[in-house]
Structure formats: C-alpha cells, structure tokens
Structure 1
Amino acid sequence: MTSTTQSNRPAADHTRVALVTGASGGIGRAVAVRLGAAGMSVGVHYAGNKERALETAREVEAAGGQASLVTGDVADEAAAADMFDALEEAYGGIDVVINTAGIMLLAPLAELDLDDFDRLYRTNVRGTFVVSKQAARRIRSGGAIVNFSSTVTKLALPTYTAYAATKGAVDAMTLILAKELRGRDITVNAVAPGPTATALFLDGKPAAAIEGLRNMSPLQRLGQPEDIAETVAHLAGPARWINGQVLYVNGGVA
C-alpha cells in the first residue's frame, strides 16, 4: 500500500474508513473524492494504472479526506484480503466498501466471444463477490456496502446481454447479503446508474447513439459521475434506513 500522507489516524477518532474499488477513474474516482469531501479516509484501489490512482488520491485529500493506495485483482481472494489488511493496519478498521470496479464488453449474445463473457463474469460478479466476502467478515458495525448494478438490467438494450447478466447477479447478491448481515447494523445496497458520461460508457459509441441515450432521460442529458457519487455518499453515511435495495440513479430513464 502506498500512502500520500504521513498520518495513520486510528479508528478511535471516529473517522469513517472507506475502500473504493476501481477508484482510478470514472465513477470510482468521483465516489472516492466525494467520500473524501465527507471527511472519510479512503482506500483508493487500482488494478493497473497507478498514476491515475495517485491523481485520485490527491483529489481526495484536496477535498478534505485522507487517501491511501491499494492494489490487486478484486477477483483474487488473497489480493482482496491484503487490501483489507493494509487499510486496517493504516486506519484501525473499515466502515464502508464500495464495489465500483467493473468492465463493459458489448456484443449480441449470438456473437459474444465466451472469453469475453468470462472476463465480464470474473470482474463484475466474482470481483464483487470476493470483496463483499471480506467486507461481510470485517466491516465494522454501523458500516455500509454499496455495490454497482446498472439500469440496463431493466432497459434490455441489444448488445448488453452479457453485461446486464452480470449486473443481475450483483442485484441478487446485494439483496441476499443484506439479509445475511442481520443484527450487524451494516447496510447493503446497490446503485444502478443509467447512461453516464464516463470513458467506459462512451467508448466506441457513435455520436448518434450517444444523443439517443441522452434523450432517454426526461432531463435530456447524460448522468455525470458526480451524480452517481452523491447517491453513493448518502448510502455510505447518513442513509441508515435504506437497506437491501437497488437504487436506479438514472435521471428518470425507464
């Protein structure tokens, strides 16, 4: 783990500690920065791009939080355990886990390469499962787990079959884990963004397709990462009576 600060504040000062997977860019970065603005110490996870993760960490600190870098394959149980170990050593415990790490590969079902399907499943489903397994065992009372689903699970857009299937699995995990943590005072929810202006979403889409997606919302715009981060921050902090839910954060797309 690499820290951009010299201070390792203990849990006794009541600072909430969050792990954000996939925090080096897009929605993950916006979430990490928003949690920093809420005064949290944030574990900024990255898989391959350390420079982008360092940029995120600097933004977290500029917003008012503390930031430490953690790295590893979210789908690898030992790597996930190491991330939790590092943050517990640095800050004394973990209160919030946000599973933003994910990939999107699009093709009609009949044409999708099964290797691509396996890649989607490993990151989006197994990765969420493995990190949530550590969270369920180690997160402190009063904590929160926030998973990432997608509005495409109900929009049923062509070419999104495999991606939507992975997010449907995340929905099921979320609802069941919330019940399995009965008595622990830990909430488990998922946010399901609609069309959001990130590199992951915009990559490879022609301008006409993007314009069509923009007009799906009555607000006639794409979501911004900060729109999603605001909802995540609510679930990660004050929203103690929202539990076992999938929240569609999509500007009214139906």
Structure 2
Amino acid sequence: MAAKKDKQDKGRGPLNLNPKMSDADFGKFSKLIKEEFGIKMPPSKKTMLEARLQKRLRALGFASHSQYCDFLFSPGGFERELTQLIDVVTTNTTDFFREPKHFELMLSTILPDLTQRNSRPVKVWSAGCSSGEEPYTLCMVMNEFAEKNANFKYSLLATDISTDILRKAMNAVYPMNKVDVVPMALKKKYLLKSKDKAKPLVRMKPELRNKVDFKRLNFMEPFPFKDQKDIIFCRNVVIYFDRATQYTLFQKFCSTLSRGGYLFIGHSESISGMELPVRQIAPTVYQKV
C-alpha cells in the first residue's frame, strides 16, 4: 500500500490503460516533433500518436498524456525523454534489396564509373538506415563488386535518428523470412543461421557488420562530418517532412555529395521543381553536376 501511495504522491495516480490525448497536448507534441525532428504531425496523426505513446506512459507510470507532456517539457524531462520520443514517432519499415533496380544500377553503371574516376575508396552513406537492411544490402553488393575489381575499396556510414533502431541494426539479427529476397549465394556467403530451430533467425557475418559505421544523426542538425560522399541513399525518409523541409534537406545532401556523386531517393519521393545541382540518370537516381 505504501508503494501505491508514493506513486500517487508524485502526482501520477492510478494508471489508465487507455488514456485519451487532449487536442491541446497533441498540439504541443506536434509542434515539438516538427521543430526537433522535422516530421510533420497533422491532426490526422493524433490517434496514432496517442496509441504509440501508451508504452511510454506505462514505463514512466503516468496516468495521462498531460502528465507525460508536463514531464517532457520540464528541463530534466526534455533531456532524458527526447530520444525515447523519436523512437515512438518514427516508422521503421525496410527490407533487404528494397527497390532492387537501384542495386542493379549500382553494379552495372555507378560503381564502375566511380572506380574509373577515383583511386581513393568510395564513400557511401545510408541516411535513415533503420534496422540495417539497406546498409547490409549495400555491403553485399559492394563486396561482390570488389571481388571482381581488385582496386575497389569503400567505406560505409549508416545513420538514423532512433537510438533503439540503431542498436538493432548493429546487432544485425533478423527473422529468417526477412532474408527471403536475398539471393541464395549471398545468404550462404554473408549470413549465419541460428542453431535454435524454434527461433529461425539469421545474423550478418562479422566481416559484413564490421564494414558499417553506425551513428545517430538528426537531419535537422548540422551534418557532423566534413568529408564528401560519393553515394547517398536516402529513400522513403523525407516523405515524413513538409515540402520546405524536404528542399532544405536535399540541399544539404547535395552539399555533402562529391561532384559526379549519386543520390538515391525513394520511389514515393520527388525533387521535381527543386533547384538542385543534379541531373536525373534513372528513376529516383540523380548525379551531382
């Protein structure tokens, strides 16, 4: 009984399993998410945010979204909770060899071009890497290219705003059905199978995991690296931003891209109407001029 009283004394009260979010609280959350992360949160997203925050309310012992909101906007709460909030807000949907024509173009055209023009290692950035499927796909593709081109070397940076999803990416463990699309030869070469038949899992081999440098990055902040990239994959990420924020972000990507470097975006995204120093070479693939 004493423990229950202590919790109530803190102003949290008995837990409501399905608390509702007020419009006022949603407005505060929406404004913060847009300012801190660039992600648009229109009123149509209120029910989604309300549901996704339930876990955080339970974890912290709050009975309402208003209590969570007060905590979030307190000086100590803001510092402690902001990275947790972005894990709640972001949607991490990705697959191995997603949009496969991109990787076919890499092998047939882009990697040969970059290898011919540069003697240094090719610098690749998977921006918004989620749980790691994209950067590990890039690793497999570039390793295969390197086996046939002795002079080819590369470095691979993978970033995401979510610390939780980055931990999963670095661990590189996936359900067996996630790698169905990976060609059998690459599975045998780069994947380790779990010995536990009750849990059909695979893990990327160490030589692949060690190729990727994972870092947390909020696109709304200045990019912390000075070197220019030769290939940037930012696919199905900017759809969560408004058009003005998308334009600003693509400008930053172009500034980070080397002359003649390549930018890949998602098939649901567009840079149409944006004044950027790139030319289109294939659907959703652009080269810096």
**Rg larger in 1 or in 2?**
2
The two structures have a TM-score, normalised by structure 1, of 0.32
Task: Normalising by structure 2, report the TM-score.
Answer: 0.29
